[in-house]
A and B are shown apart, each in its own frame.
Chain A
Amino acid sequence: MVDLKDAIADAMVQVIKLAATRVRKDVRNLIAAAAKEETNQLARKQLEYLLQNFELAAKECLPYCQDTGTIHVFGTIGEQFPIRAGIYAAIEAGIVNATKTIPLRPNSVDPISETMKYKDNTGPGLPDVSLRVVPGDMLELDVLLKGAGSENMSKLVMLEPIGAKERIPGIVREYMINAGGKPCPPVIIGIGIGGSASTCMGIAKKSLLREAGAPHPDPATHTLEIAIKDAVNSTGIGTMGLGGAITCLAVHVDTCARHPASFPVGIVVQCYAHRHARVRVEKDGYKTIPEEFYP
């Protein structure tokens, strides 16, 4: 019988390696399409370099961006999954091992002493893990390596409800002009609307786990996604802020119920280097990578 804690730690190494070294298929397709469509020479050339860099990284099995980010784990645990104890420790053990073996860049700094006392991408609050209990017997982990260039462009806006929805595309547009090349465009933008200040930021980030560019199931919400995407692409910011028609590859909006007096909008920007992968650990320890992103 496989030790499930070992299986979880191994699954973490496997999924982090995949996310860090190989671009998701849907994201690569969007970048390749952008490289074809882009009319700005400098932008097109840079997009071609990005594609070339993906290939080199996959071949050498190395992180395609040196900022391997802070590690987020969005998980679901089946009610019938055999263990509860030791799951967090197994996730951490996997990260420590992945940092050493892939290798990842050690990215955790103590904010008060400013020392690098955490050398393995763990530390207080890191990794950022959320686990929800769901029906079933599997553990499913979505791992996101979030680089700082794009994360630094995150923004919370607390709007007044009158006319708020209509203002969103313009607000995001202005905001992306201020961001310029800093988040490494072409970007994927996650927008969370509703809930509280913290919930809307959370759902904005979680929306990045969807297939890039897949429409929100609610048609009105998808209309808003298109309006935001068009607004951002009208800026001409382009690849790396050096100009171009494509600043944004996809916009994902997610919503939750809001207080009548509040209209929170969370903006989470993801660089083109969208390091995300998913792994399933079954109750007997068997691990699978769903084919959705990595066929």
Chain B
Amino acid sequence: MNAATKDGASKTITTPVTAAKARELRAGEVVFLSGTVMTARDATHEYLLDEQRALPQSVVAALKHKVIFHCGPIVKQDPSGWVVKAAGPTTSARMNAVQAKVMQKYDIHAIIGKAGMQNVDWQKLDACYLAFVGGAAVLAKNAVTRVVDVAWLNELGMTEAAWVFQVEHFGPLIVAQDAHGSDLYADVLKKAARQAK
């Protein structure tokens, strides 16, 4: 099935998500993504910033698609290869301190996760934050059409390894923090703080 026609009203974007593509997305929009994404959580971000560590070829190739997915999936090895069983997003804020460095180093322009990030200058990075609804792991795994590769599985284990997924019509993804300075999470918090007074 053609992904773009599955939900006529929504925009489908394809990887690589370049700076230009990221700039086109506006906070509040709902989009779907097709292409290649790489999962990375806390330990993976540390690996990506470790100057002493050589990057596996699979990671180099995956990062060219310019999307990082904050996710620790459940994956099972079948005779046919790796099969994803559940793949919802993890809390992105844990990567707040290192996210910009990783994005600059590898020219990443889209982050998929949940609950948003702080102290990441999306405007300066020409990048956007795409929120997938937290915990909706079966919806997410249904968009994964193939496990392309995995890196650092022995070192980091299933949760933290860098999984490379081919995805089709992955979403709905809510553009929550955009390259123009809009931030839906910050808006909600501002309103909550005002009400308290």
Taking Cβ atoms with an 8 Å cutoff, the residues of A that contact B are 42, 45-46, 49-50, 52-53, 56-57, 60, 62-68, 103-107, 109, 114, 116, 119, 147-149, 152, 173-174, 177, 180-182, 184, 234-243, 271-273
Contact = CB atoms under 8 A, between A and B. Distances in A.
Given A104-B74, A181-B131, A182-B115, 8 more contacts: A53-B139, A56-B138, A66-B71, A66-B135, A109-B157, A184-B135, A238-B188, A240-B134
Interface stretch (B13-21, B59-67, B83-91): B83-91
Q: 6 closest Cβ contacts across the A-B interface? A: A116-B157, A181-B115, A66-B86, A65-B135, A184-B134, A53-B136
A240 B137 contact: no
A63 B86 contact: yes
Residue among A53, A235, A240 with max Cβ neighbours from chain B (10 Å): A240
A146 B156 CA distance: 21
A272 B137 CA distance: 13
A180 B88 contact: no
Contacts of B90: 67, 148-149
Contact of A62 (B86, B156, B158, B176): B86
Given A64-B138, A184-B134, A236-B191, A241 B115 contact: yes
A224 to B, nearest CB: 19
A241 B135 contact: no
6 contacts: A42-B174, A46-B133, A65-B137, A116-B158, A119-B157, A235-B192
B72 A105 contact: yes
B27 to A, nearest CB: 10
B103 to A, nearest CB: 21
B138 A271 contact: no
A241 B192 CA distance: 11
A66 B174 contact: no
A56 B133 CA distance: 15
A236 B192 contact: yes
Contacts of B159: 105-107, 116
A49 B30 CA distance: 13
A180 B184 CA distance: 12
Contacts of A56: 138-139, 142
B144 to A, nearest CB: 12
Interface in B40-82: 43, 71-74, 76
Interface in B12-42: 28, 30
A18 B138 CA distance: 16
Contact of B156 (A46, A116, A182, A237): A116
